[in-house]
Amino acid sequence: MKTYFVILIVALVAAFPLEPGCQEVDLQQLENEMRGLAGTQRIEKLIELTDAYLSAGQYDKAATFAQEASDFARRLNAAGWQAEALNREGKVLAATGKRGLFGKDKAAGKFRQSIQISRAMGKPNKTLILDNLRQLRQIAERAGRSSEVAEIETQIARLNDITEPLPPPPPVVEKPLTQEVFEKEMEALEQQINQKLGAQQIPAKQRLEYERQFAALQAEQAAYKAQIDKMNEDQAKTALAFMQQRFILDSVKNQASLTALNMANAELALRESESKRNFYFAALVAMLLLAGGTGYSFIRARQNARVLSEKNKMIRAEQERSEKLLLNILPALVAEELKKQGKTSARYFEDVSVLFADFVGFSTIAEKLTPQQLVNELDTCFQAFDEIIAKYNLEKIKTIGDAYMVAGGLPDGQGSQLRDMVQAALEMQNWLAAWNAERKAQKQPVFEARIGIHRGPVVAGVVGSKKFAFDIWGDTVNIASRIEAAGEGGKINISGEVHKVIKEYFPCKYRGKIAAKNKGEIDMYFVEN
């Protein structure tokens, strides 16, 4: 309902133009409102923005927001909103007149996708399906596809519970002018009309047409009957004899003409046979040349197709490799936005969990190992951490020296994922414990990690135009770092905000209020393993 209210407002703005600058302020306000939303509320606001920019004639921005709404709805499995977003994508493409490869209309494809998704829902959106069908009908009318227009009209009528219109009355077939024929014709037509009038409610225009035909046939019957009544039997015989003589005379004339025509045709056929022989010979030569050229072209085309296919495979392989590399650097949503627009904007997230892990006594360990050995040991440890956080769909932000940073609840903003974050932290400490046991047996230095977790709002995104790197900012990040620094090796230190959420799932030990640098005293807990 909110979407249609916005559409009504946009229509009123188009009818009564605002002062310069007013419309731009409204659109900017809608964009600001959208950035603070998540889930289906964000999709709804994106569709509002699409309608507003479409009404304002800014088709590029309308296309951007419509596509973002469609992608976001697909990720959330929100079928109803995805159908709405596809409808808006089709309207933008129809307004810009863009067509796809081999002349296929992209707009028609979007409308058909919207119809398909709507009909697959448990309770289809009849209004949306009707709007899609009307858009498809306009596209078919502009393309001159009359059969497609008729098919769409039938679907619209069926959806609106409108019955098919009555077929036009059958044409009157001319028969010999006899009294018996007219009487039978009148009886048949009268029965047909009575059946149609009694079977269903016929429009007034159709009823008048049937009655007009019936009256015309009655008048014709009466005129013919009056003509027959005036003639007596002798007059009828005389007329018949005259017609027979006329027929015989015409037959003789026609026979003479036919004989002369046959002679002319025989001479003409002789000349045509000579011309045809020459023509067939020339055609045979042309066909042989054409067949040879076609065969050569076919062979060359197959060779070119094979070369092109190999090149396409190489291009697809390179594209897939580049895609995997990009997704390994940036979250999927940010990477998609960056590919489409060439830039991305930082976004605000209300509830995000942040984890810091740091090794105790790293400087001491570094003194006992060569730089290459130290880097190899860190790589082994961080690869294990990467596998653990990937298992719980958490987002690795970065590594800074021996520090490891993770966030939960990005980029879809579906909550901080605190239970997953704590479980991942427990598995990280368990892996380190097993790894250190092996290292002690080999008399190698051990790596004990402090892990700290906090939750709260952050701003996340990519800044700058070179060497893109996804990062998060905010006071939540600083507090998480302080909590990690206040922890102990081999343990997981969490804030009171985290404890409120996970206390029912993980046993914790209260440490009291502990001073954190520049943050005052913070309630802290150890998660018991």
**What pLDDT, in 10s, does the model give residues 30-40?**
888 887 788 88
447 DSSP assignment? -
Could you tell me the two tokens for 45?
A: 């606001």
Q: Which of 7-11, 98-102, 108-112, 433-437 has the lowest mean pLDDT?
A: 7-11
Contact between 365 and 374 under an 8 Å Cβ cutoff? The reply is yes
Q: What is the pLDDT of residue 327?
A: 60
If you average pLDDT over residues 398-423, what whole number do you get? 89
Question: In sequence order, what E strands does 343-428 have?
Answer: 347-359, 395-400, 403-408
pLDDT over 70 percentage in the chain: 69
Q: Which of 86-90, 130-134, 295-299 has the lowest mean pLDDT?
A: 295-299
Contact between 476 and 363 under an 8 Å Cβ cutoff? The reply is no
Q: What is the pLDDT of residue 498?
A: 96
Q: What is the pLDDT of residue 182?
A: 56
Could you tell me the two tokens for 269?
A: 């056929």
* Burial of residue 187, with CB atoms counted within 10 A of its CB: 0-12 exposed, 13-18 middle, 19 or more buried: exposed
If you average pLDDT over residues 173-192, what whole number do you get? 58
Contact between 420 and 389 under an 8 Å Cβ cutoff? The reply is no
User: In the structure, what pLDDT confidence band is assigned to residue 14 with cuts at 50, 70 and 90?
Assistant: very low
* Rounded alpha-carbon distances, angstroms, from residue 308 to 100, 130, 311, 319: 21, 43, 5, 16
Phi, psi of 247 (to 5 degrees): -70, -40
If you average pLDDT over residues 54-59, what whole number do you get? 88
Q: Please, what is the Cα angle at 312 between 306 and 317, to 5 degrees?
A: 130
Residue 108 above 80 pLDDT?
yes
19-30, pLDDT tens digit by residue?
Answer: 334 344 478 888
User: Do the bridges between strand 347-359 and strand 449-462 make them parallel or antiparallel, or are there none, so unpaired?
Assistant: antiparallel
In order, the DSSP letters of 266-331 are HHHHHHHHHHHHHHHHHHHHHHHHHHHHHHHHHHHHHHHHHHHHHHHHHHHHHHHHHHHHHHHHS-
Residue 103 above 60 pLDDT?
no
Residue 274 above 90 pLDDT?
no
467: left (phi over 0), alpha (psi -120 to 50) or beta: left
- Radius of gyration in angstroms for the set of CA atoms belonging to the chain, rounded to a whole number: 42
Q: Which of 121-135, 377-391, 513-527 has the lowest mean pLDDT?
A: 121-135
Q: Which of 117-126, 292-301, 408-417, 506-515 has the lowest mean pLDDT?
A: 408-417
If you average pLDDT over residues 216-242, what whole number do you get? 58
Residue with tokens 């072209």: 297
* Burial of residue 181, with CB atoms counted within 10 A of its CB: 0-12 exposed, 13-18 middle, 19 or more buried: middle
